[in-house]
Structure 1
Amino acid sequence: MHTSCLQYSLTDEERRIFDETGYLIIEDALSAEQVKELTEQVDLISERKKNEGQDPNKAMFYTDFIKDHQLFMDLVDYHKILPKVWGVLGWNIYMYHTHMIVTPPSGQEKSDKTFGWHQDSGRVNMEIESHPRPRLSLKVAYFLSDLSEPGRGNFWIVPNSHLTDHMPLSETGTGQPEGAIPVVVKPGTAVFFDRRLWHAASTNWSDVTRKVLFYGYGYRWIRRKDDMTMDGLLEKSDPIRRQMLGDGLSCNGYYTPTEEDVPLKVWMREQGLTV
């Protein structure tokens, strides 16, 4: 990491917003050129998946995409974003989950059907014994398409719901939870959200194809959520990126890390940051 990344550290105001609402919007996280180049690569993957049998009328959910291009790899420890991630979670972290979603126009008429509201992490929410549930991880969503208007397959959230273990939903299957809103953002925006934030995908009723990249970060003792292809990636990565990709010296090092396991901790201390 270059020390210039510290200008993007999590501010006190950003921390307050994230802690209170469960999400944080960072506009212009990606430049117009980055959006253009990333979109080109997403389109190539989307076309390839269609040739492999992906239904062009259905959303494409594709994991393990960082191996497909250096542009995706460079977001693993992106200098404008990773300092905010460690600002929330600390230094014993790695990237445990990625997925790319491309949502084409549905061709459906707009309806008020209840979306699939959920918190992330599956069985964790049933088996862990605490209230409220622990944060454990967060995701960063990079939006490549123009979602500045609702109805474009927007990601929906219930702000301030991350400390709520249960979300009341309509028994009729229509309508959204009280306080639910669509996230409306322009291309290049990054949205952080706590895994506990109640959220849902929505139908794309527009003529704009929605394209989003999700990077999930959690503590190093959390298992991966995807089968990630690491062939050759670790060998060409610097120590902090290797940590973000899940590298470590031993199994115990994920629970009780030595400094060799967590070069991010060493680097942060060298910069005079609290560790």
Structure 2
Amino acid sequence: MNPSSLKYALTEEERRTFNETGYLIIEDALSAAQVADLTEQFDRIYDGKIEGGHDPKTALFYPNFIPDHDVFLDLVDYEKVLPKVWGLLGWNIYLYHAHMIATPPSGQAKNDATFGWHQDSGRVNMEIETHPRPRLSLKVAYFLSDVSEADRGNFWIVPGSHFMDTMPLPEDRQGQPEGAIPVRVKPGTAVFFDRRLWHAGTPNWSDMTRKVLFYGYGYRWIRTKDDMTVQHLWERSDPIRRQLLGAGVNCNGHYTPTDEDVPLRGWLKEHQPEMVLR
């Protein structure tokens, strides 16, 4: 990790925004060249899935894409983003989940049916007995297509809803919850969101395909949410990237980590010591 990455450290304004609203938008996180390279590999995978039988009229949810190309691997510890992740979660973190989503045009007339509102993490939301529920993880969504206009399969959110354990929905299943808004961003934008934030995917009523990469970061004692077949990448990764890819000394190190388990902690002690308070 190059110390120059600290110029992208989480600011107090960004921390306040994320803590209060549950999300944070970073425009131009990716350069035009990065968007082009990522889109090329995204399209290669997407086209291959269609050739393999995936219905081109339905959304593609494809997890465990990190091993498919180094352009995806390089975002795991991306200098413009990772400092903000550790700024929010701390140093005992790794990439526990990653998936790409392609949302093609629905071919359907626009309607006002209630979207599929949810919080991430499934059973966690039923089995942890706290209020509000704990943050535990966050996702970074890299947008490769232009969703700056409405009806393009936009990601919808209810700002501030990460403190709510339930989300009141219209009884007739028409319309969206109070305060719901679409996230409208340009290609190259990174959107951070708390796993507890109530959000929903939506139909794509445009004539373009929405393309997004999701990187989920959580604490190292959380199990992976997909296969994450990245172990073969450890040998050619530097220590911090290995940590983010799930490497460690032993199982206990996920709960009581040594310096060898969490090289990010050692790096922060040297370069950003205020992040290592315990």
The reply on whether 1:90 has 2:103 as its aligned counterpart is: no
* Distance in 1, Cα, partners of 2:273 & 2:14: 18
| In structure 1, C-alpha distance between the alignment counterparts of 2:214 and 2:230, rounded to whole Å | 18
Distance in 2, Cα, partners of 1:233 & 1:272: 27
Give the corresponding residue for 1:252.
252
Which stretches in structure 1 are left out of the alignment for 5+ residues?
none
1:171 Cα deviation after fit:
1.3
1:229 paired residue number: 229
Distance in 2 (alpha carbons) for counterparts of 1:45 and 1:57: 16
1:31 maps to 31
Q: How far, CA to CA, are the matches of 1:133 and 1:165 in structure 2?
A: 7
Alignment-derived partner of residue 13 in structure 1: 13
Any runs of at least 4 consecutive aligned residues in structure 1 with deviations exceeding 2 A, and if so which? none
Q: What corresponds to 1:219 in structure 2?
A: 219
Distance 1:157 1:252 in 2: 37
SS at match of 2:149: coil
Shift of 1:231: 4.6
Contact 2:96 2:225 in 1 (8 A): yes
What is the RMSD of the two structures over their aligned residues, measured on CA atoms? 0.6
Give the whole-Å Cα distance in 2 for the aligned partners of 1:207 and 1:133.
38
Contact 2:231 2:247 in 1 (8 A): no
Task: Give me the TM-score of the superposition, normalised by structure 1.
Answer: 0.99
Is structure 2 residue 145 aligned with structure 1 residue 138? no
The corresponding residue for 2:194 is: 194
For residue 113 of structure 2, what is the aligned residue in structure 1?
A: 113
More displaced 10-residue stretch of structure 1: 230-239 or 41-50:
230-239
- 2:55 maps to 1:55: yes
- Shift in Å at residue 102 of structure 1? 0.4
Secondary structure at the aligned position of 2:71 is classed as: helix
Q: For 1:270 and 1:226, how far apart are their aligned partners in 2?
A: 33
What secondary structure sits across from 1:140 in the alignment? strand
Give the secondary structure class of the aligned counterpart of 1:162: helix
Q: Counterparts of 1:271 and 1:68 in 2: how far apart (Å)?
A: 32
2: distance between equivalents of 1:126 and 1:192?
24
What's the CA shift for 1:272? 4.0
Render the CA deviation track for 1:86-121: whole Å, top value 9, x for unaligned.
Answer: 000000000000000001101111100000000000
Contact 2:66 2:230 in 1 (8 A): no
Q: Does 1:165 align with 2:165?
A: yes
Alpha-carbon distance between aligned partners in 2 of 1:272 and 1:211, rounded to the nearest angstrom: 35
Q: Which residue of 2 aligns with 1:185?
A: 185
Distance 1:185 1:55 in 2: 27
With normalisation by structure 2, the TM-score equals 0.98
Identical positions, percent:
73
Unmatched segments (≥5 aa) in structure 2: none
